[in-house]
A and B are shown apart, each in its own frame.
Chain A
Amino acid sequence: MSLRLVVNGEDRVSRAEPLTPLVDVLRDEFHLTGAKVACREGFCGACTVHIDGQPVVSCLVPLGMVEGREVRTVESLAAAGELSPLQRIMEEHDVVQCGMCFPGILMVLTSFFREHPRAERGEIKVALVGNICRCTGYERLVDAAVALAKRS
């Protein structure tokens, strides 16, 4: 059987079973390995993608649920090869360490800033509560996000 969905603006067809977690389809079938599998239980947020613009942990979404819907992954953030403002500010502030959590954090903050472009520090931290980062201790990446909010 096959199932259609839109991934990063492209029409794609998956041959996986409808109960296959979306993250496995993205990584194993479409080779979009930006979304990370770190817990498979929805606790770490590293596999966050957008479905119709909303951030979702893709380990808990069966493929069958996204038929015909639009999925965006971290690979889509730098349209035409240009870093998004959020990616750029994270790079400028040198906040990345091992980097495994960043795809999820970027997807969460991208959709958060769309709705709250001038968010305060406390609001940004609340937005990140579903993303585990084991390296950075959060504060410096929050500093970068605050700097971005101040620019807008």
Chain B
Amino acid sequence: MAIADPSNVTMNLPRRDARDKLLGRTRYTVDRMLPRMLHAAILRSEVASARILKIDITRARQMPGVRAIALSEDAPGMHGIGIADHPLFASGVIRFHGEQIAAVAADTYEQAQAAARAIEVELEPLPIVLTMADALAPGARLVHPDWKNYEVLFEGGARGGNVAWEATVVRGDTEAAFARDDVVVVESCFRVGRQNHVSLEPRAVVASYEDGRYHIETSTQVPWTVRNMTAKLLGVLASQVHVTVPPVGGGFGQKFDCTLEPYAAILARKSGQPVRLVYSRQEEMLTCLCRENAEIKIRSAVTKSGDIAGREAVVLMDCGAYGGEQIFLTTMTAHTLGGNYKLGSVKLASRAVYTNTPPNGAFRACNGVYNTFALERHTDEICQAMGMDPLEFRRRNVLGDGDLGATGQVFEGDVLGPMLDRMEKLREASHSKEPLAGGRLYGRATVVGTWFIFVGPSTATINLNADGSATLITAGVELGQGTMVQALPQIVAHELGIHPNDVIVRNADTDAAGFDLGVGGGRTTVSVGAASLAAAADVRNKILHTASELLQTQPERLVLRNGRVEIAGIEGSGMTIAKAVQHAHRLTGPVVGSGSFTNPGVPAMPGCAAGHFIDAIDIPVFNVHDCEVAVDPDTGHVEILSYKVVQDVGRALNPRAIHGQIQGGVTQGLGYALHEEHTIGEDGCIRQDSLETYRVPLALDTVPVEIDLYEGAPSIGPLGAKGAGEVPILNPPAAVACAIANATGCRVQQLPLTPPRVLGLLLGREPAVELPHIKIVSQLAAGLPPAIDLTPFRADRF
């Protein structure tokens, strides 16, 4: 592997931001200080469900140091994804423990906190809708009695009562498949808890109000979402909001939404001073936009020869008090639970359910992680029921070239099959770790996964400078994933024949860069990368034309390499790019190029998908993971003995950086598989409010992941690349759960697999997950009326 060989786009280019991060000099949002800056604190509800009778700020306003107080009347708008159901401040009603009631700005944080505590709030308690089973029970209290009056931002989802959104898939005739007399029907149930991102930099913002505009400096993944959402909530024009993003100290999806920015913006306008708002770790634990808890019922009709004739499933996703990201994420069930395998027919329903609990959000490979856990465990339960080898069953059924996905999209290329072969080689290359299990129970599993790249619109501008360097302007954000400091400069440099170090990458600034969907869903290398490549091609064209005149050579005969415009095949000929740019300044003006990208759109089968934000996936990404575990039969403790990954990367632009993403993503997935979980008490409050009670992986919990990057799968990404940072977390819970099931012979239905839970399984004391509130009924077999839980949800039923 060449180190920084600019003639080859593939290189282990080191990060340019590493040095300052190691020196302690990097200034994240939490490190920003401005003259006259105030500090903000939020007053939060300490009950989960109540009517607000009175809010009195008289006493708080007179407290020392207080400069401004913001209440619901300062933010008249409602926000959301799909449905605008979420006010900035609780307005009339409290819907979750921790909900924002007021925000205070004062000279010090302590003064702001004291004043927030001095706000008098009178509440009348209301019953709590705690669980999804409660929410869906007949006659359940509605978390949003006014749901019919909310603004619909995206058409197509079925809604009703406590079901915030439903997306459905129907392809083929599952009823007929389940009624066949040559199939075996296997049904499985799964339940998972919430996972907290625990970004080390909490959500943080510094806002100012200058010349009639808001300037928001924030730790976000989505500068344009923050711009547009803040404007919507405050009832101002989006052009009045300016967002810039310093280096971000971890996101993992938590910062894929606008959250605390509007509070600081309002307080900055009211006080006329800059306002800093940084959530405490406790606030981050109690109101984090977690990976949602979910419940999955799935069943399959499998022929004796091992074909999946029919599959039906229902997924309930707890969106908490407001719909948020979960409304969008109902879409992903089709592509995750409905993924991996060839299905003769399929019927899926994916529902976001309102409860009086803190709202959830996006977390790395959202929805996919638990659906892959469920799908792979279900696959193993099928194999067990049929007496089939799990690896052979997967080989036989994984999606290949020309196969149909759940929504009828046609997959291109054989990818998962050859990746299973590569995993076999990886397994053969190293000895089994079974001897390390000693007296413990040993298990192993190989699992597959399907994820996607969240493509969508991005844009880039490049200024080619008179010193031969290039300045790349995008709304991309560096969260730690490395795209902004590695893949993007590599792509631009390759196109312009310069060194990546000569590509300056501007930090996200909505006044400088055009619209972008944000950093998440593995999309930065692909979407921002494709826009950057297009901008670089534009610049390339322009500089070749300028040089063509000076060199009296057709542009087609010129190449850009080593910082020069050369006549093809004649090394050292022509002139430096710098010189060509200087000429351009005199002839035509400075050299600037732009590029845009959006997803081309892959067709689904008409009529298959309803209520989906994405009917078919533009760029699928596949995983094969393998895990060996040892389970202590006396304590239920699980040790990971080995972990192997074959990952579809399209083309690896920076293999070393991808290895870093895989090691990190697998570790986060192992945390979710084994010990990370938020649970919710009877009072609707999250029980784990610190890093003492919420256990993330530490250095002694990890193993070195053995990695094989699979290149060459089809991708519309720039230079054939796919995003590589999100997908590593997709499969670890599936791999670990299947390996533990194999080790113990127990039916693993829940995550995380903590020692008490595993011991409970071993002792037969862990209650089976049955999910009676989710019905999958074959009406033909049971002679029942249509299975209501699988028909599209009809709003008029309520």
A131 to B691, CA, bound (A): 11
Asked if residues B480 and A90 are in contact (CB atoms below 8 Å), the reply is no
Residue of B nearest to A107 (CB): B24
Asked if residues B21 and A137 are in contact (CB atoms below 8 Å), the reply is no
One of A73, A102, A131, A135 near B699 (C-beta < 8 A) = A131
Cβ distance B566 to chain A, nearest Cβ, rounded Å? 31
Asked if residues A139 and B663 are in contact (CB atoms below 8 Å), the reply is yes
One of A39, A98, A125 near B700 (C-beta < 8 A) = A125
Given A94-B656, A98-B479: A83 in contact with B22 (beta carbons within 8 A): yes
A132 to B247, CA, bound (A): 19
Q: Decide yes or no whether B250 CB sits under 8 A from chain A.
A: yes
A107 to B690, CA, bound (A): 23
- Which chain A residues in 30-80 approach chain B with CB under 8 Å? 31-41, 43-44, 46, 73-75, 77-78
Given A135-B480, A136-B660: A36 in contact with B22 (beta carbons within 8 A): no
Q: Decide yes or no whether B27 CB sits under 8 A from chain A.
A: yes
Chain A residues with CB under 8 Å of B24's CB are 32-35, 73-75, 77, 103
Asked if residues B703 and A139 are in contact (CB atoms below 8 Å), the reply is yes
Q: How many residues of B contact A (CB 8 A)?
A: 56
Chain B residues with CB under 8 Å of A129's CB are 698-700
Asked if residues B705 and A100 are in contact (CB atoms below 8 Å), the reply is no
Asked if residues B659 and A137 are in contact (CB atoms below 8 Å), the reply is no
Q: Decide yes or no whether B666 CB sits under 8 A from chain A.
A: yes
Asked if residues B691 and A132 are in contact (CB atoms below 8 Å), the reply is yes
Asked if residues B699 and A96 are in contact (CB atoms below 8 Å), the reply is no
Given A83-B22, A91-B19: A99 in contact with B692 (beta carbons within 8 A): no
A140 to B660, CA, bound (A): 7
Asked if residues B699 and A142 are in contact (CB atoms below 8 Å), the reply is yes
Asked if residues A43 and B690 are in contact (CB atoms below 8 Å), the reply is yes
Given A129-B698, A137-B702, A139-B705: A96 in contact with B21 (beta carbons within 8 A): yes
Main secondary structure of the interface of A (DSSP, over half): loop
Asked if residues B200 and A100 are in contact (CB atoms below 8 Å), the reply is yes
Asked if residues B697 and A99 are in contact (CB atoms below 8 Å), the reply is no
A48 to B774, CA, bound (A): 49
Cβ distance A120 to chain B, nearest Cβ, rounded Å? 14
Q: Hey, what's the 0/1 contact readout for B18-51 against A, CB within 8 Å counting as 1?
A: 1101111111101101000000000000000000
Chain A residues with CB under 8 Å of B27's CB are 33
Q: Hey, what's the 0/1 contact readout for A4-44 against B, CB within 8 Å counting as 1?
A: 00000000000000000000000110011111111111011
- With a 10 A CB-CB cut-off, give which of A74, A128, A138 has the most chain B CB atoms: A138
Q: Hey, what's the 0/1 contact readout for B653-668 against A, CB within 8 Å counting as 1?
A: 0001101100111111
Chain B residues with CB under 8 Å of A44's CB are 200, 691
Q: Decide yes or no whether B12 CB sits under 8 A from chain A.
A: yes
Asked if residues A96 and B15 are in contact (CB atoms below 8 Å), the reply is yes
Q: Hey, what's the 0/1 contact readout for B682-695 against A, CB within 8 Å counting as 1?
A: 00000000111000
Cβ distance B461 to chain A, nearest Cβ, rounded Å? 26
Asked if residues A101 and B22 are in contact (CB atoms below 8 Å), the reply is no
Question: Which bracket fits the contact residues of A?
Answer: 35 or more
Residue of B nearest to A124 (CB): B699
A138 to B691, CA, bound (A): 18
- Which chain B residues in 363-402 approach chain A with CB under 8 Å? none
A142 to B101, CA, bound (A): 45
Given A100-B249, A136-B663: A38 in contact with B200 (beta carbons within 8 A): yes
Asked if residues B692 and A43 are in contact (CB atoms below 8 Å), the reply is yes
Cβ distance A44 to chain B, nearest Cβ, rounded Å? 6
Cβ distance B203 to chain A, nearest Cβ, rounded Å? 12
Cβ distance B285 to chain A, nearest Cβ, rounded Å? 9
Cβ distance B705 to chain A, nearest Cβ, rounded Å? 7
- With a 10 A CB-CB cut-off, give which of B15, B28, B657, B698 has the most chain A CB atoms: B698
Q: Decide yes or no whether A1 CB sits under 8 A from chain B.
A: no
Q: Which 8 pairs across A and B sit closest by C-beta, in order of nearness?
A: A34-B24, A98-B480, A99-B21, A137-B667, A74-B24, A100-B200, A97-B480, A100-B249
A contact residues vs B (CB 8 Å cutoff): 27-28, 31-41, 43-44, 46, 73-75, 77-78, 83, 87, 90-92, 94-103, 106, 125-126, 128-129, 131-140, 142-143
The 21 listed contacts between A and B (C-beta, < 8 Å) are A36-B30, A39-B690, A90-B22, A92-B14, A97-B250, A98-B248, A98-B250, A98-B480, A99-B26, A100-B249, A100-B250, A128-B698, A128-B699, A132-B200, A132-B696, A134-B197, A134-B200, A134-B696, A138-B699, A140-B659, A140-B660
Q: A100-B201, A139-B703 are in contact. List 5 more A-B contacts (CB 8 A).
A: A31-B33, A94-B14, A96-B15, A137-B668, A138-B663
